[in-house]
A and B are shown apart, each in its own frame.
Chain A
């Protein structure tokens, strides 16, 4: 049974790109369509990993991140953050702490910098989803 990855990115092109790459890597995918809530999609699709862009329309990725990490029902789902804002080296953990402004918030399970190098991305996903 292939693992399922949920991709949440405000840019439809990037979302489509990442989903295509994940499918080529043997994963199932799902995404957050405009108007739908994150929780309803998770409940319906039950993803094994969430790939989350920090910048989002209406609410930023950080809000979604905080909500999932503080929820009993969803906190076990690993989350990979992606962003072009800073390099992976700068983001973990300083950039993340500065952005979140909440020391109790756990670090994401992985961080991938944009532009995404697809082989590293698939590798990182694989590391989070061992068979």
Chain B
């Protein structure tokens, strides 16, 4: 024996026992631990003078299934999986190999027990098992023949015993493998693959799975098994579908809307500009609309007002401007879009008012034409009265001359004189009415006009003992009006009211009240008298012919002129009158029908 071999022998005898990472203990037949190595002590703690069951398992008596006892009896080595108590008092798992030490007479005075600590491995294994079984998807291990090697609890619960069966058979009830098989692809290239799988549940519902296959290998490049994970995405797909339909619905709604719809995201970028918006603002298809384009098209300050939200901003009658500078009348609604606290952006709805404006214009034109028609019809009546007056004068003159009746001659001359004078007034009035002038509007203070007219008539009213007043109890904002035209209207109405007072029989005929106020979005001028009033026939005729009840004093054109001016403003005249009770004329000018201010005139 060489000294080297001697040294090795000594090392094995003296040092190997201490060096091995396996806990080794020698037990005698009274279950006393008689010897143990450092690895054992690290696992179970101090052992000297203690029984094995005390050291291993913190017990007072021999373990029920004592492996050592069995080996003492039959001399067979054993391997067992044990649960004991570690040095720190925690549960320890270990694998124990038990060997008998047999003496020359065949007796077994000692056992060698070698314990490998598997606590950490066991924890890992259990974690993986829990993951495998409890992860919310079907997990299986599949071999190259596409047979299921292992299946998690979910699969076992759903499909029963799966192991050893083909995956396509158990999952889909097919006789051969699927056309698209991600597991097959993973076996081929060793990569992770995903696929979609449609199966039918037991009650026939379609169930969609998102399938992921991952390679499992024990050696590089060699895929032994594939782990297949299938997640039920039926609900997700349904939600996606619902979302897609909702989105398509909204998209359709926006794209087919007659109104222009524009949306701006939080950073100001234009994210929606629907076909109607393109149409109204004359933006060609394909032309991107930038934030600055939009700001140029919308009325100045509108977007800032919308941004300052909350709530919506409504401009019922405003103008947008195409990029070529063409003004378009529109109704604008702007709204801030938010999701609770978070501002998502802003949306603007643009309603094209061109068609409506055109209709309104046509209606006004039709009203004007009708007025002209009625005027012409009335003209004949006025002329006939004048002719009769002239003929009367001629008759009186002729018969007076024939009879030598100087009184009648005088009356005839006077009659001719009066009627000729009347013709010139009539012609002048008629020309001013028929030619008219287009009204020109400027920002005007409505009560101011009424005040002027009342001042104009103050002296005459006072002379006649009529109390003429003007009231504007509440402020009336400025409006685009033809000052001169409305002055003429009020002059006519106040003049008529004073005349009516004079014609009053008996009581009354002492007050003319003018009021200016705002009502229901309209500027209203009201002229009320307690004069003679009008009966039904007069009311019916008052605007329709050259109608006068003032004998030689009137041409019948005042009210027609008044109505013409009021209609040019898009307004109307209302009349309330009871015979003997007085009359109220009301000029109603809805603000949304008033003519637009010319661009050069700044809004007041």
Residues of A within 8 A of B (CB): 10-14, 16-18, 20-21, 24, 35, 55-60, 62-63, 83-85, 99, 113-116, 118
How far is B503's CA from A13's CA once the two chains are assembled, in angstroms?
Answer: 19
Q: B193 to chain A: closest CB distance in Å?
A: 93
Question: Can you offer 23 A-B residue contacts whose CB atoms are under 8 A?
Answer: A11-B552, A13-B389, A13-B392, A14-B392, A17-B393, A20-B399, A20-B408, A21-B395, A24-B399, A57-B503, A58-B503, A58-B505, A59-B535, A60-B537, A60-B541, A62-B537, A63-B536, A83-B381, A84-B381, A84-B384, A114-B388, A115-B384, A115-B387
With A12-B551, A12-B552, A13-B415 known as contacts, the answer to whether A60 contacts B538 (CB < 8 A) is yes
B445 contacts A by Cβ under 8 Å: no
Residue interface bits B412-425, CB-to-A below 8 A is 1, else 0? 00010011000000
Q: Which of B5-13, B24-32, B138-146, B542-550 contacts A (4 or more CB under 8 A)?
A: B542-550
How far is B417's CA from A13's CA once the two chains are assembled, in angstroms?
Answer: 11
CB-defined contacts of A56 to chain B, threshold 8 Å = 549
Of the candidates A13, A59, A83, the one whose C-beta lies within 8 Å of that of B393 is A13
Q: A62 to chain B: closest CB distance in Å?
A: 5
- What 6 pairs between A and B have smallest CB-CB spacing? A17-B392, A84-B384, A60-B537, A115-B387, A115-B388, A114-B384
CB-defined contacts of A99 to chain B, threshold 8 Å = 537
Known contacts A55-B547, A57-B551, A84-B388, then 18 further A-B pairs from the complex at CB < 8 Å, ordered by chain A residue: A12-B551, A13-B389, A13-B393, A13-B552, A16-B392, A17-B389, A17-B396, A17-B415, A24-B399, A35-B505, A55-B541, A59-B579, A60-B535, A63-B537, A85-B381, A99-B537, A113-B384, A114-B385
Complex: chain A residue closest to B408, CB-CB: A20
Complex: chain A residue closest to B393, CB-CB: A13
CB-defined contacts of B391 to chain A, threshold 8 Å = 17, 115-116, 118
Most buried by B among A11, A24, A62: A11
Q: B476 to chain A: closest CB distance in Å?
A: 34
CB-defined contacts of A83 to chain B, threshold 8 Å = 381
B380 and A84: CB pair below 8 A? yes
Q: B406 to chain A: closest CB distance in Å?
A: 14
B320 contacts A by Cβ under 8 Å: no
How far is B272's CA from A15's CA once the two chains are assembled, in angstroms?
Answer: 78
Complex: chain A residue closest to B533, CB-CB: A58
Residues of B within 8 A of A (CB): 380-385, 387-389, 391-393, 395-396, 399, 408, 411, 415, 418-419, 503, 505, 532, 535-538, 541, 545, 547-552, 579
Q: B503 to chain A: closest CB distance in Å?
A: 6
CB-defined contacts of A17 to chain B, threshold 8 Å = 388-389, 391-393, 395-396, 415
How far is B393's CA from A18's CA once the two chains are assembled, in angstroms?
Answer: 11
Q: A48 to chain B: closest CB distance in Å?
A: 23
A11 and B505: CB pair below 8 A? no
Q: A25 to chain B: closest CB distance in Å?
A: 11
Q: B224 to chain A: closest CB distance in Å?
A: 108
Complex: chain B residue closest to A117, CB-CB: B391
Interface of B is mostly: helix
Complex: chain A residue closest to B411, CB-CB: A16
Q: A57 to chain B: closest CB distance in Å?
A: 5
Complex: chain B residue closest to A24, CB-CB: B399
How far is B565's CA from A32's CA once the two chains are assembled, in angstroms?
Answer: 37
B419 and A13: CB pair below 8 A? yes
Q: B414 to chain A: closest CB distance in Å?
A: 9
How far is B596's CA from A9's CA once the two chains are assembled, in angstroms?
Answer: 47
CB-defined contacts of A24 to chain B, threshold 8 Å = 399
B551 and A11: CB pair below 8 A? yes
With A13-B419, A17-B395, A118-B395 known as contacts, the answer to whether A57 contacts B550 (CB < 8 A) is yes
B535 and A14: CB pair below 8 A? no
CB-defined contacts of A118 to chain B, threshold 8 Å = 391, 395
How far is B535's CA from A56's CA once the two chains are assembled, in angstroms?
Answer: 11
A58 and B419: CB pair below 8 A? no
CB-defined contacts of B545 to chain A, threshold 8 Å = 85
Q: B577 to chain A: closest CB distance in Å?
A: 12
CB-defined contacts of B399 to chain A, threshold 8 Å = 20, 24
CB-defined contacts of B380 to chain A, threshold 8 Å = 84
How far is B388's CA from A18's CA once the two chains are assembled, in angstroms?
Answer: 10
Of the candidates A13, A20, A62, the one whose C-beta lies within 8 Å of that of B418 is A13
Of the candidates A12, A13, A58, the one whose C-beta lies within 8 Å of that of B549 is A58
Complex: chain B residue closest to A62, CB-CB: B537
Of the candidates B388, B503, B536, B551, the one whose C-beta lies within 8 Å of that of A116 is B388
How far is B547's CA from A31's CA once the two chains are assembled, in angstroms?
Answer: 22
B385 and A84: CB pair below 8 A? yes
With A20-B395, A85-B381 known as contacts, the answer to whether A10 contacts B549 (CB < 8 A) is yes
CB-defined contacts of B535 to chain A, threshold 8 Å = 59-60, 63
Complex: chain B residue closest to A57, CB-CB: B549
Q: A5 to chain B: closest CB distance in Å?
A: 16
Q: B229 to chain A: closest CB distance in Å?
A: 92
CB-defined contacts of A13 to chain B, threshold 8 Å = 389, 392-393, 415, 418-419, 552
How far is B411's CA from A21's CA once the two chains are assembled, in angstroms?
Answer: 13
Complex: chain A residue closest to B580, CB-CB: A58
B385 and A11: CB pair below 8 A? yes
How far is B380's CA from A63's CA once the two chains are assembled, in angstroms?
Answer: 23
How far is B383's CA from A116's CA once the two chains are assembled, in angstroms?
Answer: 13
Q: A81 to chain B: closest CB distance in Å?
A: 13
How far is B545's CA from A57's CA once the two chains are assembled, in angstroms?
Answer: 15
Q: A56 to chain B: closest CB distance in Å?
A: 7
B385 and A16: CB pair below 8 A? no
How far is B393's CA from A115's CA once the two chains are assembled, in angstroms?
Answer: 13
Complex: chain A residue closest to B551, CB-CB: A10
Most buried by B among A16, A62, A99: A16
Complex: chain A residue closest to B381, CB-CB: A84
With A55-B549, A58-B505, A84-B380 known as contacts, the answer to whether A14 contacts B388 (CB < 8 A) is yes
Complex: chain B residue closest to A63, CB-CB: B535
Of the candidates A20, A35, A63, A116, the one whose C-beta lies within 8 Å of that of B396 is A20
CB-defined contacts of A20 to chain B, threshold 8 Å = 392, 395-396, 399, 408, 411
How far is B385's CA from A12's CA once the two chains are assembled, in angstroms?
Answer: 11
How far is B537's CA from A62's CA once the two chains are assembled, in angstroms?
Answer: 7
